[in-house]
Amino acid sequence: MKTDLRVSVGAGLTALVLAAGAVGCAKGDDESPELSPAAAVAKAAKNTEDITSLSYRMKGQFPGQGSITAEAQMQLKPEMAMSMKMSMPKLAQGSYDARLVGKAMYLGGGQEMAKELDGKHWIKFDLSALGAGDLEKQLGGGASQVDKNPAAESTFLTGADDLEKVGTEKVDGVETTHYKGTVTLDQLRESLAKAKGNAATRKTQEKGLEQYEKMGIKTLKMDGWIDGDEHTKQFRMRGDSTQGPMDVTITFVDINKPVKVTAPAAADTADLAEMMKEAQQEQKQG
């Protein structure tokens, strides 16, 4: 497998990880006026535990990869499944389709990827067989995060000491209340240590925190747009990493509507594990 393919595939996985930045939405009126900013944000964070599926759009800048745009749908319960179409012009491949089905991750790059894969359009990563360490070694940091719940990190906004209400705004025609705040990773680590909420949610929060620590981000500037049903309609995260600035916005279209994600045809898929074995055999023979 060529080096440029490894870099591009790794970036695609990292982009997928970015999906972890926010929560779902539902249409409704503005949030109850008696709620304080802290109470409103906390309520929206609590409601993420009931989300079973969602669809969303993503756009922004990611450290080391430049601009990114994506559309995705994800099933969170009873098990994780995702389908995403993403575009990253800075990278050699440019655009990808990504799917997560069971313990397998699939990345498709159209004709450009087919040139690297003997005519096949998809490459498969068996997460259970490779393990997080192998994925990160081959594809870059963050590969082990592809199966985490994207709703969990919305709760990070609740840790902001300077949390404030910006005002009311429409997002995709939906009335929302905009809140903003700044939180350090040290504050997040301390709050997670004291957390008494859902264990699964806390675990994915910790994974997200580890991702930002590896990127060298120390502070997150966060914005949340909460609708009248007390769900987050839109979410923005900004931070300075060792590879440059991160600025990503996720806008949610639907929550709790059926999501169906299927694996690509086996005949059109190259298995990374098999490719690695073949490469090792060629090295021994050489």
Q: What is the mean pLDDT of residues 260-279?
A: 87
Provide the residue ranges of all domains of the chain, joining segments of one domain with +: 3-285
pLDDT of residue 142: 35
When the pLDDT of each residue in the chain is averaged and rounded to a whole number, the result is: 78
Report whether pLDDT(101) > 60: yes
- The model's confidence at residue 145, banded by pLDDT at 50, 70 and 90, is very low
What is d(CA 265, CA 99) in angstroms, rounded to the nearest whole number?
A: 12
Q: Higher model confidence: residue 139 or residue 58?
A: 58
Q: What is the tens place of the pLDDT at every residue in 172-226?
A: 999 999 999 999 998 888 877 776 666 666 777 777 788 888 889 999 999 999 9
What is d(CA 11, CA 17) in angstroms, rounded to the nearest whole number?
A: 10
Q: What is the tens place of the pLDDT at every residue in 12-37?
A: 444 444 443 333 333 344 444 558 99
- Label residue 172 exposed, middle or buried (CB < 10 Å: 0-12, 13-18, 19+): middle
Output the CA torsion sign for 238, 248, 75, 126. negative
DSSP-based three-state secondary structure for 76: coil
- The model's confidence at residue 231, banded by pLDDT at 50, 70 and 90, is very high
pLDDT of residue 25: 35
Task: Quote the pTM value.
Answer: 0.78
What is d(CA 198, CA 208) in angstroms, rounded to the nearest whole number?
A: 16
pLDDT of residue 282: 74
- The model's confidence at residue 50, banded by pLDDT at 50, 70 and 90, is confident
Tell me the CA end-to-end span of the chain in Å, nearest whole number: 16
Q: Higher model confidence: residue 40 or residue 62?
A: 40
Locus of tokens 């972890």: 20
Q: What is the mean pLDDT of residues 157-162?
A: 86
Q: Higher model confidence: residue 19 or residue 84?
A: 84
Q: What is the CATH number of domain 3-285?
A: 2.50.20.20
- The model's confidence at residue 93, banded by pLDDT at 50, 70 and 90, is low
Report whether pLDDT(274) > 50: yes
What is d(CA 233, CA 247) in angstroms, rounded to the nearest whole number?
A: 17
Q: Nearest to residue 67, comparing CAs of 238, 248, 252?
A: 248
Reply yes or no: is the peptide bond before residue 78 cis, omega within 30 of 0.
Answer: yes
- Cα–Cα separations (whole angstroms), residue 140 to 135, 145, 221, 245: 7, 11, 25, 18
What is d(CA 271, CA 120) in angstroms, rounded to the nearest whole number?
A: 10
Least confident of 1-10, 38-47, 67-76, 264-273: 1-10
DSSP-based three-state secondary structure for 142: coil
What is d(CA 73, CA 84) in angstroms, rounded to the nearest whole number?
A: 7
Q: What is the mean pLDDT of residues 91-111?
A: 81
Q: Higher model confidence: residue 125 or residue 144?
A: 125
Report whether pLDDT(114) > 70: yes
DSSP string for 196-243: -S-HHHHHHHHHHHHHHHHHT--EEEEEEEEETTSSEEEEEEEEEETT
Cα Rg of the chain, angstroms: 19
Long-range own/partner contacts, residues 214-217 (CB < 8 A, 24 or more apart):
214/141, 214/142, 215/63, 215/141, 215/239, 215/241, 215/242, 215/243, 215/246, 216/241, 216/242, 216/243, 217/185, 217/241, 217/246
